[in-house]
Amino acid sequence: MSDGKATADETGRGVNRPPRLPGPGKFTIIDRYIARQFLTIFLFALASFAALFIIVNLVENLDRFMDRKIPFDRIVIFYLSGLPDTFLLTSPLSALLAALFVTGKLSMQSELPALKSAGMSLSRLMKPFLVVTLVITAFNTVNSCFIAPAMYDWSKGFEKRYLKRQKNNDGEPLHIRESKNRILTVGQIGPDRKSATTVSLETFNGSQIVGRIDADSLRIITREKYWILYNTKQRTFSNGIETLATRPGADTLKLSLATNTFKMIDTDPDEMNILQHFDFIWQKTHSGLPGLEKATVKLHTKLALPLASMIIVLIGVPLSSKKKRSGLAVEVSISLLIGLSYLGMLRTIGSLGYDGLLDPVLAAWLPNLLFIIAGVFLYRSANH
């Protein structure tokens, strides 16, 4: 007879039982080891890509910095302020490199087969990777929605002002749908973005024009939210008869447009945080301003891009979980190939959304959807 503490068999020898891995809800020493290795390599890769981008950009623009006599401290601020955007773009590539390297190292050193023989499934192996990438995704979401837009003027704004030649579109006529039956046309917007010259406001009944107001100039009074037209000529069309009324001086007019409509025309959505971006889309939708598709793609890209690190790890771990003799160079090559394919796909499909050839929302999320499908396929293949 034996009590509950007995661990020996009838011969008195201890019973050898196979080691049991902890349940899926526990974060073990093995998990911490994998997570620490993954995070270390991820941060190293992230810093390496950031340094590479800075060096390449500095070599390319050093002559411009010298020609424009830009102070050294301003150049340093320019590169530091561009780091959030660089981290956001290179995080998927860094996460993939770290996942391939860590999993490949476990496989080549026969540690991974030992874990599998002890009962660790592929899904259980992916737990520390997913926990770390969940933290990375959370940070990148905050970065994409708030930090990177806040750094816009110091990074991309600086680049536009000093490193690139910008096309000036202020001299081109602009047509704005003021309401369902009225179209506002301005010849040139003033530099203060609160005035315009050579203005006309056409009113339609269906497809037929019923009235038109022409003015030499227009100014927005922001506080009172009304518009002043100067030296107007008002034409009314009824039954084929045109009536003309000339009003010299100032004429007050109520328009349904937002008072910052002219400012929105050349505003880059990249400089807006996520809340401002949603409001920007709403105003563009209701004012008929051009560029709605591009603004919509960029809005959803701010939400889709941070998830790329987690999605791409679903590809990296199964891809490198089989024992092979490939070294670090092969892992790096695979990472670059997959990561650059994702970034290239993001830009290519995004441009289709910009041009209206593809639904803007789908254009932003399609690269993630395609990589999720690839990750599921690789997971099922490796699991079998």
CA distance 261 to 255: 11
- Which tens digits make up the pLDDT trace of 17-30? 544 555 556 788 98
Instruction: State how far the alpha carbon of 5 is from the alpha carbons of 1, 8, 126, 318, in Å.
Output: 12, 9, 36, 42
CA distance 271 to 363: 21
**SS3 assignment, position 356:** coil
Q: What is the pTM of this model?
A: 0.79
pLDDT of the residue at 7: 46
pLDDT of the residue at 10: 46
Q: What percent of the chain has pLDDT over 70?
A: 88
HEC string of 8-72?
Answer: ECCCCCECCCCCCCCCCCCCCHHHHHHHHHHHHHHHHHHHHHHHHHHHHHHHHHHHHHHHCCCCH
Residues 6+ away with beta carbon under 8 Å from 124: 21, 24
Q: What percent of the chain has pLDDT over 90?
A: 48
Report, as an integer, the average pLDDT of 197-213: 92
pLDDT of the residue at 173: 81
Rg from Cα positions in the chain: 30
- Which tens digits make up the pLDDT trace of 52-104? 999 999 999 999 899 888 999 999 999 999 999 999 999 999 999 999 889 88
Report, as an integer, the average pLDDT of 160-169: 65
CA distance 17 to 94: 41
- Which tens digits make up the pLDDT trace of 287-325? 667 778 999 999 999 999 999 999 999 888 888 876 555
208 HSE (CA, 13 A, CB side): 7
276, pLDDT greater than 70: yes
